[in-house]
Homo-oligomer: A and B are copies of this chain.
Amino acid sequence: MSRTIVAPPELPDAPISAVERETGLSKDTLRVWERRYGFPVPLRDRHGERLYPADQVLRLRLISRLLGRGLRPRQVVGAPLEELIARAGEGDAGPALQARAAEAPLLDATLRLLRSYDEAGLRAHLSLALQRLGLQRFVTEFAAPMNVQVGEAWSRGEIAISQEHLYTEQMQHQLRQGIGAIYPGTRAPSVMLTTLPGEEHQLGLLMAHACLAIEGTRCVSLGVQTPAWDIAQAARQHGADVVGLSFSESLRQKTALDMLQDLRARLPESIEIWAGGALWSRLRRRPPGVRFVSRLEQISPLLAEYRARESAAAP
């Protein structure tokens, strides 16, 4: 595959505001790195304002990505280009990586379609998988491992961000089709679904939504990033039994736990909180008042338990 990383188009030196835009690193951060770590070292225009050469911007972009993966600035900010690229390639060969052999061909096909930006093909492929597996198995056996695969492929540099975006978009489309085809549920518990501020990933939320909808649960989704204050208000007004929250690994666990505790304090005891997502797979201590669900398969038993409990309590 001759996907060369493209000859640099000879871009002019960039002022600090442009670098902020391109890398997502704030001006303050850029200036403070310069002071502390001696990198970047921008040129100056005739008025003494910073001008970043294209190669430094490239390095900064790589650094920014590595930080998003959890590396610490001290270890990467000063590092030379080759080391950055090496580290970017490392990737974590976790156990989630090997999907079950049975689905491997499906996964491979997906990656192939992504590489060629073949939207129509991808759409047909996912749709077919959905029809063949049914929503339940599509979510747990296909979508979930595929999400991990695509994420890994990106961090290994095998696919571009734009291709990962394309995948997310299409998968979202497919999940919504699946959810939309289910007649609105009426069974208890009444679940209000959303994510907390800072958590932008929709796929986790949609997968959970699908798992709940399949069981006939009555659920209302608010989409992503609802502030705790508003969740509490909405849950009370709507008379929800459960608030369901989805977490990817993009949030810090500490931050997430703090927000959960905050939300817990704002909700009456009678409303349960179910927190799901990959973030909790390495949870040390689980604070009281919140149910943690690290795998989609656990949703079904959790529902069954809730229903048993309720029918026992109020016969």
Contacts and interface: CB of A to CB of B under 8 A. Distances in A.
Interface in A231-245: 231, 233-234, 236-239
Contacts of A168: 223
A22 B162 contact: no
Given A5-B237, A119-B220, A237-B117, A22 B180 contact: no
A184 interface: yes
Interface of A: 3, 5-6, 9, 11, 17-18, 21-22, 24, 61, 117, 119-120, 123, 160-163, 165-166, 168-169, 172-173, 176-177, 179-180, 184, 194, 197, 200, 219-223, 226-231, 233-234, 236-239, 255, 258-259, 262, 265-266
Nearest to A58: B229
A159 B191 CA distance: 20
A132 to B, nearest CB: 18
Contact of A162 (B165, B219, B230): B230
A259 B18 CA distance: 8
Contact of A117 (B9, B163, B179, B238): B238
A220 B117 contact: yes
Contacts of A179: 173
Given A21-B255, A168-B223, A255-B21, A234 B162 contact: yes
Contact of A194 (B6, B24, B165, B230): B165
B3 A223 contact: no
Contacts of A173: 176, 179-180
Contacts of A222: 162, 165-166, 169
B176 A234 contact: no
Contacts of A221: 119, 166, 169
8 contacts: A21-B259, A119-B220, A119-B221, A120-B184, A160-B230, A162-B222, A165-B194, A169-B222
Contact of A6 (B9, B160, B233): B233
A30 to B, nearest CB: 15
A135 to B, nearest CB: 15
A100 to B, nearest CB: 28
Contacts of A176: 172-173, 176-177
A221 B167 CA distance: 10
Q: How many copies does the complex hold?
A: 2
B169 A258 contact: no
A117 B234 contact: yes
A226 to B, nearest CB: 6
Nearest to A6: B233
A227 B161 CA distance: 9
Contacts of A228: 21-22
Nearest to A193: B169
Nearest to A232: B9
Given A162-B226, A169-B223, A258-B21, A200 B200 contact: yes
Nearest to A205: B169
